[in-house]
Amino acid sequence: MHVNAVFIDDTFAEAFPMRAARIVVTAVNARWAREAALKLTGFATSVIACKCEAAIERELERHETPDGRPGISVLVFAMDTEGLGKRLVERIGQTVLTCPTTSCFDGLPGAEKRLTPGRSLRVFGDGFQASKVVAGDRFWRVPVMDGECLLQESFGVATGVGGGNFIILGADSRSTLAAAEASVAAIANMEGVILPFPGGIARSGSKVGSRRYKGLAASTNEAFCPTLRPLTASSLPADVDSVLEIVLDGLDEGSIRRAMRAGITAACLPGIRAITAGNYGGKLGPHHFPLRSILDERADAGART
């Protein structure tokens, strides 16, 4: 299959279950909501070393937020519910609580499984905190120096999908980065999915473990490194000198499929030779995303040959 003359590899992305929370941060204006959200999602590219993966999902209009202020929704993914709970306490406590004018709300109100970071964080109020119940949900008023920080007590937990991906193989660094940026732009603001790496793009595609260093959880995927082409069993065609990867985490399979379709289609630009995906032969996780069938799901996925 080709899309705009870009070869689509007959392979699939392999992903695994994760636990996810959606955090809605509001503030006096969009700037401060974003400031908090950027800190909230900092250093959260991969569970391998960051203990969670997080990124901004989308900007929210006033009518979409509980308090009618500008907001940002953030998705946070961890490998288990306990770990997710710890990350929420750490991150909300150190980034939203500290940020001027912000409030913090649950973005998964329908989820049955709940975590209670607000209950843990309320003690920052040192006994001066107070709670309010609005619409059946409890909120904590934590006194801070600019007034009060309002934190929802309980946050829903979803069983999400982590590790969706596609890999862009380009002729050179410039065209490959441009294609990856186009992918990110196409996926930006899509509901239920995030791209946790810097700017949504990863250059350090990894393999599990290490060929030389014991105890290393992950190391470079030499098969996709153009500088190692003559030294390894390279997976790169001869006309590919740059590779970038888009990694996706989503609240469900459908979100990832939609985002992959949009992202892959957008990436099929001049200078791009092929799109492939990372998998472990089906041994890593139960969620498989075959590139070709994903692109076939919509008639307007692009001009194919």
Partner 1 sequence: MSDRVTLTLRAALEESIEAEAIVPSAFATLGEAEIRALPVWAGRSRRVLADYFDVRGGQSATVRIVGDVRRAHGIATGMAAGDLVVDGDAGARFAAGMSGGRADVLGSTGDEAGVAMSGGSLHIRGDAGDRVGAGLAGASRGMTGGEIVVGGSVGAHAGARMRRGLLFVGGNAGELAARAIIAGTVIVIGRVGPEPAFASKRGSLVVAGGVDVPATYRHACDYQPPHVRLALTYLARRYDISLGAELVEGTYRRYCGDASTVGRGEILEWIRE
Closest contact distance (angstroms) between CB of 108 and partner 1 is 18
**Which residues 107-166 are close enough to bind partner 1 by CB under 8 A?**
130, 132-135, 139, 141, 146-150
Closest contact distance (angstroms) between CB of 244 and partner 1 is 41
Closest contact distance (angstroms) between CB of 133 and partner 1 is 6
**Which residues 27-86 are close enough to bind partner 1 by CB under 8 A?**
66-69
Rank residues 67 and 172 by Cβ distance to partner 1 and give the closer one: 67
Closest contact distance (angstroms) between CB of 96 and partner 1 is 12
Rank residues 108 and 201 by Cβ distance to partner 1 and give the closer one: 108
Closest contact distance (angstroms) between CB of 134 and partner 1 is 5
Of the residues 11, 103, 120, 279, which one makes contact with partner 1 according to CB under 8 A: 103
Who contacts 283 (Cβ-Cβ below 8 Å, separation ≥6)? Answer: none
Site residue total, partner 1 (CB under 8 A): 17
Rank residues 13 and 149 by Cβ distance to partner 1 and give the closer one: 149
Q: Does 242 bind partner 1 (CB under 8 A)?
A: no
Rank residues 65 and 120 by Cβ distance to partner 1 and give the closer one: 65
Closest contact distance (angstroms) between CB of 264 and partner 1 is 39
Rank residues 52 and 149 by Cβ distance to partner 1 and give the closer one: 149
The contact set with partner 1 (CB under 8 A) reads: 66-69, 103, 130, 132-135, 139, 141, 146-150
